[in-house]
Structure 1
Amino acid sequence: MYLTRVRFNTARSGARRLLGSPHLMHGAVTMAFPVRPARDGQGPRVLWRIDRDHRSQTQLYIVSPRQPDLTHLVEQAGWPTLAEPGWATFAYGGFLDALTAGDTWSFRLAANPVHNIRLPHDKPDDRTRRTAHRTPRHQLRWLLDREEKAGFQVICKDPAKQLTKLGDEHELIVRDQLPLQFRRPPGKQVRQDVRITRVTFDGRLQITDPDVFRRTLTQGLGKAKAYGCGLMTLAPVSR
């Protein structure tokens, strides 16, 4: 497994074009691999996420079973004339293997929190409709409902540090809620307009099941993984 980071030059039109379309970004990431990994849900897959940090930097993170070649992406959206290759790739397998139960980490996750509903006029035999959670309270609950099956537990706050009686029980925040709408190229039996809501979670967690947690880190969490959702990354807990 590999973890890759590449910084975008947002002054370039190619960067703005990619950042404005999750479909185009998905294609650019896919083209970094001569052989595309199988998407059968049984093994590691290619996951990606866009981060915008406090220094006004925009970076792409990729987790993949094979090492990528991002020459084409740097030529479109980076600094292609610099001597450095424009991206950094790190061996990820050793880090994953070293994770153990009880480890505590800071984490960031971009996800697509959704649920299935029936509208008042739907008939009993109608299929349920997938819709996004709109409020931070429901988005937080979406993640907390999945933590056990994902091999981790979000750390609870000391009650004395809770700012409110309800909704602030965990070291977890929601930020950068971003509704996205874009079009896919024409194709058969697929809806051309895609609408998703991408949310970023920042928090602290404790690993409860290392094997399951490794699967979460390499297969993603939730829906819309092809469009920049599902990738969780870890960082040491700052004291």
Structure 2
Amino acid sequence: MFLTRFRINTVRLGARPLLASPQRMHAAVMSSFAGLLPSEGASSRILWRTDRNSRAEVLLFIVSQERPDLTHLVEQAGWPTTATWQTYEYKPFLDKLTAGSTWAFRLTANPVHNVRRTPDEPLKRTAHRTPRHQMGWLLTHQEKAGFRVLETPADRRRLARGDEHQLTVRDEQRHHFGKTEMKTGQANKVPLVTVTFDGRLEVTDPVALRRTLTAGLGKAKAYGCGLMTLSQAG
């Protein structure tokens, strides 16, 4: 497994359509792998995420089984003569994860739930719209994903409700794009709501967490969701 980081040059004209469209970024990421054939489910082996740390610093992260070649992205949206990308072997880090260790984490996800307005209506996948419900979505997935979001000590909580965990939600993005159904050929407008979680976690099941870090968490993985990364907790 490999973890790759690429800084996007946000003032390049070629960067703007990539950052505006998860579909275009998905296609650019998929084009980074010479051994990837356009077969069903192939893209599920690759995770990616863009981190918008500031207007001038936007980073693309990729987790993949194959080492990527981002030459085309450097030419389109990077610094062709002065900067490139960094790719690291991911397995040594994953193997060091142990139960009880604590980490800072970041995750961009598509928090959704299934609802119906009437008993006869089929279930419809709907995005969570408020930070409280978005955080609740993550907390309901944490046990199976191999971690526990750390709680905020009672004497450090600033709110009566919603401040119980060391977790924040930011950078909500809403997209609409066309998608053609493979079975019917019908073109539909697909809404996509993404948010970024920052927080601190404790590893409860290293095997499950390794699976989360390499296979992703939640829906819409092809569109920049599901990739969690860890860093040393400060």
Q: For the superposition of Structure 1 and Structure 2, which TM-score range results when normalised by the shorter chain?
A: over 0.9
Q: Which of the two has greater helix per residue?
A: 2
Quote the residue 2:123 is aligned against.
128
CA contact (8 A) 1:9 1:77 kept: yes
TM-score by length of 2: 0.93
1:175 to 151, 170, 177: 170
Q: Determine the C-alpha separation between the residues in 1 that align with 2:52 and 2:211.
A: 26
Change (3 A) 1:70 1:18: same
Q: How many residues align?
A: 232
Which deviations, in whole Å up to 9, do the C-alpha atoms of 1:104-132 show, x marking residues without a partner? 0000000000001102xx452x3200110
Shift of 1:19: 0.7
Change (3 A) 1:167 1:186: closer
Quote the residue 2:66 is aligned against.
66
Query: Which ranges of structure 1 fall in alignment gaps of 5 or more residues?
Result: none
Identity within the alignment, %: 55
Quote the residue 1:10 is aligned against.
10
Change (3 A) 1:172 1:190: farther
SS in 1 for 2:143: coil
Shift of 1:96: 0.3
Change (3 A) 1:58 1:212: same
Which deviations, in whole Å up to 9, do the C-alpha atoms of 1:29-65 show, x marking residues without a partner? 0010112287769xx8210000011473011000111
Change (3 A) 1:169 1:92: same
1:189 aligned onto 2:185: yes
Shift of 1:9: 1.0
Change (3 A) 1:118 1:48: same
SS in 2 for 1:164: coil
Quote the residue 1:234 is aligned against.
230
SS in 1 for 2:229: strand
Q: Determine the C-alpha separation between the residues in 2 that align with 1:157 and 1:123.
A: 39
Bigger CA drift: 99-108 or 189-198?
Answer: 189-198
TM-score by length of 1: 0.91
Query: Which ranges of structure 2 fall in alignment gaps of 5 or more residues?
Result: none
Alignment of structure 1 residues 85-234 onto 2, 5 Å: 86-119=84-117, 122=118, 124=120, 126-184=121-179, 189=185, 191-234=187-230
CA contact (8 A) 1:105 1:205 kept: yes
CA contact (8 A) 1:180 1:197 kept: yes
Shift of 1:182: 2.3
Change (3 A) 1:102 1:190: farther
SS in 1 for 2:61: strand
CA contact (8 A) 1:110 1:231 kept: yes
Q: Name the Cα RMSD after superposition.
A: 2.1
Quote the residue 2:32 is aligned against.
32
CA contact (8 A) 2:63 2:214 kept: yes
